[in-house]
Amino acid sequence: MANNLRRIWDTDPASKPTPRQFSDDFVGRFRSGRLVGKLPESLNAWRVTTGDPVVAEEIARLMGGAAEEWDTDKEDNLEILTDAPSVEIVIESSDKIDASMKLFGSTGIIHHCDGVEHLSPEDEKGEPCGCPELLQDRKDKARSGRGPKPSIDVVFKLAAAPELGRFRFNSGSWELVKVLHEVISAVDDYDGPVRATLAIENVSYTTKGGRDVSYNKPVIKVLGAYEVTVPMADAA
Ligand SMILES: [Zn+2]
């Protein structure tokens, strides 16, 4: 069959679609929550999403659960509600941990900072961003939709199956923010990749006023150097 449209971009090459790009170089995402209807639900075990059936099978084998389709317009259309609250991971370096503060509006990101200075857009970079100094004030402002929330990205491989490729975990947890500098410095204690656990932990207590508080938080704990016995499959 002749492709009679092959010259359609000759006059407008800028509009020619590029080959489908997979979002970065990770094969799936670890998530500590999901939406039930419109309500966010936090989970007690990892939920993994991927577009790759082979990865999905392996996750189910290693962490429990079964691969199922879920309602998304993204490419990671398979989800596994695993039984595992904790998983051993490999973090290649502290460059694989990225954190900033972000506020999204209807047109995209409208405030992007490190808590003190703007990180983007380029012409505002380095200028004071006007966020409150105190953590509680930042939280209050974020909760009311007027201030940015943490956005922490961790890219890692599974210690049990590094050949699967890289996964990503994005968190908006203030609890993780509080200890992130310790995690990064623990990773930096080693020259090469480290073994760590990525866990969902439950925190429960009763306040002085008698109110029961219970929430989940993600915890990253560095265990030590990752001993490479066979060469790690590199970014393919
Ligand atoms: Zn700010």
Strands 39-50, 26-36: pairing kind: antiparallel
Distance 230 CA to ligand 1 centre (A): 44
Rounded Cα gap, residues 36 and 103, in angstroms: 23
pLDDT in tens, the chain (236 residues): 566 776 777 887 777 665 544 445 899 999 999 999 889 899 999 999 999 999 999 999 999 999 999 989 888 999 999 999 999 999 999 999 999 999 999 989 999 999 999 999 999 999 999 999 999 999 999 999 999 999 999 999 999 999 999 999 999 999 999 999 999 999 999 999 999 999 999 999 999 999 999 999 999 999 999 987 655 555 54
Distance 8 CA to ligand 1 centre (A): 45
Distance 178 CA to ligand 1 centre (A): 16
- Cis? peptide before 121, omega within 30° of 0: yes
Distance 152 CA to ligand 1 centre (A): 15
Distance 38 CA to ligand 1 centre (A): 28
Q: Is this structure's pTM higher than 0.75?
A: yes
Distance 119 CA to ligand 1 centre (A): 9
Paired strand residues for 56: none
Distance 4 CA to ligand 1 centre (A): 52
Strands 194-206, 212-225: pairing kind: antiparallel
Distance 156 CA to ligand 1 centre (A): 27
Within 13 A of 158's CA, how many CA atoms are on the CB side? 20
Domain map (residue ranges) of the chain: 103-147
